[in-house]
Chain A
Amino acid sequence: MKLGKRGITITEAGIALFILLISIAYLNNLAVSYMLTLSSVKERYLANSLAQEGIELAIALRNKQFEHNVGRVNPTNPVEWLGIPNETDTYCLGLENGEIKTSTSPTEGCLIIITSSPVFYRKIKFEKYGSENFASSSIVKVTSEVTFRNLEPIKIETILTSGIFIPFSTSSP
């Protein structure tokens, strides 16, 4: 047996342990942040669905006008097919007692409360798409925006057309 061989000092062992401890602590921290991310994913998925719901409500509102106008464009108010009077405001759309309700929204959007979730705000904007004025538009861009927890808002856009509506002048009732 070879004598005088130097072993590990307590300082060296301490440093090694410290490094190991830091590594595991860091991994632990990663696991916790992954859990938080997963929780945030749940909320973002719900926010995304609420934004999509806004788009679906806009489509349904357009389709609802079909019932009243029997698919014909009113020459005195061509954009009537959309169910929204102007592009300067943002709107709240919702279903209440079997009716699709529209109202102008506050700046931050309309409050949507879903149990055990953060508070969501949604606003829906209708804008002209192309060269026509909004009032005579047959194509409109719809943007549904949902904000929550002061995070980056979730936006979904779609294009709505009056394709299912026929001008009064070219069709009989």
Chain B
Amino acid sequence: MKGFTLIEVAIATFIFITSFVVMFEMYVNLTRASLYTQELQLALDNMKFGMEKIWTEIKTGANFATTTNGIIFKDKFCATTTITKINDELIFEKNGVTSTIFDPKLVKVDNFTLSYDNVLGGDEYYKQNSKIFIINYELELITKNNSIPYYFRQGVAPLESTRMSSLCQ
């Protein structure tokens, strides 16, 4: 009965090892890509959630004033609300209770700026408040191994901006 020669065994082993290495490398890449996309998706979801919160608060807010690093206004229940950039985070404060808009482990805030239209000036509410706020964000979506820069822009026209008098005095 004829067995394998040494050369046949060597060739078979070589083919097996090469195939195994290639497959293993592919598998590692696949796992890495899968983890990366999961992390990125998580950061993106967190960012979207935070953005929607900011949009809704400003949309329904009133009595706006900008600060050095953010904005102060009254929410729909007339509670004093601020959104301020402190270090790499956006801090949301309502009635003295603070929280972060984005999870600092997932989203880093490099810059947060607001532009708005000039007010007419006068006694009536609609003359004192801007009709549009454009918010510019410079963010970083954080994953385990790197962070991805993400520039974003939002426009919000507050609902209460044409009132004759403010609901919150």
Contact = CB atoms under 8 A, between A and B. Distances in A.
A99 B130 CA distance: 10
Interface string A115-127: 1110000000000
A56 B29 contact: no
Contacts of A25: 26
Contacts of B116: 95, 98
Interface of B: 8, 12, 15-16, 19, 22-23, 26-27, 29-30, 33-34, 36-37, 40-41, 44, 48, 51, 115-118, 120, 126-127, 131-132, 134, 138, 149-157, 161-162
Contact of B23 (A10, A14, A24, A45): A24
Residue from B26, B29, B41, B48 having most chain A Cβ neighbours under 10 A: B26
A17 B126 contact: no
A28 B27 CA distance: 8
Contact of B155 (A52, A67, A116): A52
Contacts of A28: 26, 29-30, 33
A140 to B, nearest CB: 15
Contacts of A115: 138, 151
Given A10-B12, A31-B33, A164-B162, A60 B26 contact: no
Interface of A: 10, 13-14, 17, 20-21, 24-25, 27-28, 31-32, 34-35, 38, 41-42, 45-46, 49-50, 52-54, 56-57, 59-61, 63-64, 66-67, 71, 95, 98-100, 114-117, 164
A57 B155 contact: yes
Contact of B118 (A46, A57, A99, A117): A99
Given A42-B150, A63-B131, A20 B117 contact: no
B131 A60 contact: yes
24 contacts: A10-B8, A13-B16, A24-B23, A24-B26, A24-B27, A28-B26, A28-B30, A31-B30, A34-B33, A34-B37, A38-B41, A46-B151, A46-B152, A49-B51, A56-B155, A57-B155, A59-B157, A61-B131, A63-B131, A98-B116, A98-B118, A100-B117, A100-B131, A116-B151
B153 A114 contact: yes
A38 B42 CA distance: 11
B120 A67 contact: yes
A117 B117 contact: no
Shortest Cβ-Cβ A-B pairs, 8 listed: A53-B155, A60-B132, A98-B118, A31-B33, A56-B155, A60-B131, A59-B157, A60-B157
Nearest to A96: B115
A20 B23 contact: yes
Contacts of A24: 23, 26-27, 30
A166 B36 CA distance: 56
